[in-house]
Amino acid sequence: MALYAIGDIQGCHAEFCELLTLIGFSPAHDRLWLTGDLVNRGPDSLGVLREVIALGPSVRVVLGNHDLHLLAVAAGNRPLHRDDTLAAILLAPDRDDLLAWLAQRPLAVAEGDTLMVHAGVLPQWTTPRVLELAHEVETVLRSDERVPFLHALYGNEPDAWCDDLAGFDRLRVIVNALTRLRFCSHDGRMELREKRGAAFAPPGYAAWFLHENRQTASSLVVCGHWSTLGLLLAPNVLMLDSGCLWGGALTAIRLPDRRIYQVPSRAPITPAPFG
């Protein structure tokens, strides 16, 4: 039995199927972790959702920012953006089943010393704390509070964690950290506007995984999200968004031996962001 992790698919259904064939994935014998952002921007988000659901319990998925955007749009709380490719899901006859399945996905999963989130974690959070805070959001997403929560989800404030935070402000910080984080200060203040690579850290900030005081440094963090950074394989961080959407590749890694498998993008969206 093998465990594989795959980076952001974002509607690249053909590449996802090709990658599953390349690794010889067997739902009966293997397991698959997906780092979130199953949908949006790519050509076949509907196909990706149906494919992943059909793989059954062999797959574990964490929610990404684009997955949450789909839930917010479907709830009537956000408009479709010009470059969204979510219409086929919203018009599908099995729309309600697909959205219900997506809303049940976690924001963080852990097994042994390995933690998976979509984007990153704040320096002061331990792995058990990440799971506790993710569960707070998951509980709301799976309740009657989902629609008002999705209405209040968006915004960059508060920009730092405090244990005294409550209500939607508390949940917003958790979501922003787990699904949008790239840069933060050593004490966990987030900078959510800069989207380029680690060399473009604003003054006083650094890539979230570079802080020496990071409490998850003893865990292996598997994530995606940062396509402009590209594939990064460090001793305690595996960042797997290799920009399939933008003409790069879709990447899988086999754990624990870290063998890499890739398939090239078939129909990249151009231009890629930030060149």
Cα–Cα distance for residue pair 198/98, rounded to 1 Å: 35
Answer whether 253's CB lies under 8 Å from 4's CB: yes
Whether the pLDDT of residue 267 is over 80: the answer is no
**pLDDT of the residue at 275:** 44
Domain map of the chain by residue range? Answer: 3-264
Closest to 255 measured CA to CA, from 12, 24, 31, 21: 31
The CATH topology of domain 3-264 is Purple Acid Phosphatase; chain A, domain 2 (3.60.21)
**What pTM did the predictor assign?**
0.96
- Tokens encoding 159: 């920009």
In sequence order, which residues have a C-beta less than 8 Å from that of residue 16 and are 6 or more positions away?
A: 6, 9, 48, 51, 250
CB atoms within 10 A of CB 124: 18
- What is the tens place of the pLDDT at every residue in 137-178? 999 999 999 999 999 999 999 999 999 999 999 999 999 999
**pLDDT of the residue at 271:** 65
- What is the tens place of the pLDDT at every residue in 225-244? 999 999 999 999 999 999 99
Cα–Cα distance for residue pair 39/105, rounded to 1 Å: 14
> In terms of DSSP H, where are the helices of 181-250?
none
